[in-house]
Structure 1
């Protein structure tokens, strides 16, 4: 079976000359379909850069990245955007919800960009909210929701396109203990149902939910714990 993520010799350099920052230095990583991976590393280790490239939000300076068997090396921004919308669900630490719209409308957004018709958008968005236990909050705006509820809306938005992979950047970083437990429970259930999950975290108890932990040091994979 083709891995959902294949990274070979990935390099990322910001700037040039004496001020160049080498964020990734020939990193290799393979993630099989249905895995649950935690990526850990100190600040500046390159883990966020790696996740942004995996999410097609950034491009490498060198190396190869194949997403679900598709080589993204020569993709233009528009092609990356289409691939991102079809294959990837992204969950951010800061939720990134649109403030003045309802939970339902926030979840529908990726489908709007994909040109899905209104009736189908609503049905799929409600189904995604049901997966995270928030159908009763569908008409609430973000400022009417707790932090944990906002993150659950963000997860529903990530799932609404039925992506091959869910990427999460410190998804519990802004949450209290109870909300973190709820959100991690959702990721656990997603993975148990066959979804591929890759998350960044600096917390050992969060990484313990994953089936494999990848440690990144100075832009390279320094170790893997199973």
Structure 2
């Protein structure tokens, strides 16, 4: 079966000459369908750069990256945007919800960009909000929701396109401990349902929910191991 992510010997260099910064130094990473991976690293380790490449928000300086069998390096910006919209569901630390739009309208946005008709957008948005436990908050605007509820709306928005990969960048960084637990419990359920998840985090308690932990130091993978007790 084709892996969801196939990253091989990827490097990323910013600048040139004496001022060049080597953000990634030959990273190789493979993520199979249904896997749940946490990518960990301190500030400056390269984890954000790797997330941008995995998410098709940036391209490597060298090496190869395939997303769901598609060679990302060979795509122009338009095709890259289409692949990103159809294959990846993003969850960010800051939620990135649109103020003065209801939860349902926020969740519908990726489908609107994809040209999905209004009735189908509504149906899929309602289903996604139910999946994250917010069936009773569909008409609420972001400022009427708690931080944890806003992040669950963001997760519903990420799920509504039925993406191949759910990619989360520090998804609990702006949440209190109770909301963090709720979001991590939701991720656990999505994994059990067969979703493929990659979480970028520097928090060990967040990574502990993943099935596998990848550690980056100075742009290199220094360990890639199943979490203690996880069944591979």
- Give TM-score scaled by structure 1 length: 0.98
Write the deviation string for residues 134-158 of structure 1: whole angstroms up to 9, x where unpaired.
1111111111111000100000000
* Aligned position for 1:204: 204
Consecutive unaligned residues of structure 1, counting only runs of 5 or more, are none
* Aligned position for 1:163: 163
Consecutive unaligned residues of structure 2, counting only runs of 5 or more, are 227-232
* Aligned position for 1:53: 53
Q: How many residues align?
A: 226
1:225 shift after superposition: 2.5
Write the deviation string for residues 63-122 of structure 1: whole angstroms up to 9, x where unpaired.
100001111111111111000111100100010111121111110000001000000000
Runs of 4+, deviation exceeding 6 Å: none
Write the deviation string for residues 181-222 of structure 1: whole angstroms up to 9, x where unpaired.
110011101110100000011111111100100001111110
* Aligned position for 2:34: 34
1:14 shift after superposition: 1.3
Structure 2: how far apart are the matches of 1:13 and 1:31?
24
* Aligned position for 2:103: 103
* Aligned position for 2:152: 152
Write the deviation string for residues 42-61 of structure 1: whole angstroms up to 9, x where unpaired.
10100011011111111111
Structure 1: how far apart are the matches of 2:21 and 2:99?
35
- Give TM-score scaled by structure 2 length: 0.96
* Aligned position for 1:86: 86
CA RMSD of aligned residues (A): 0.7
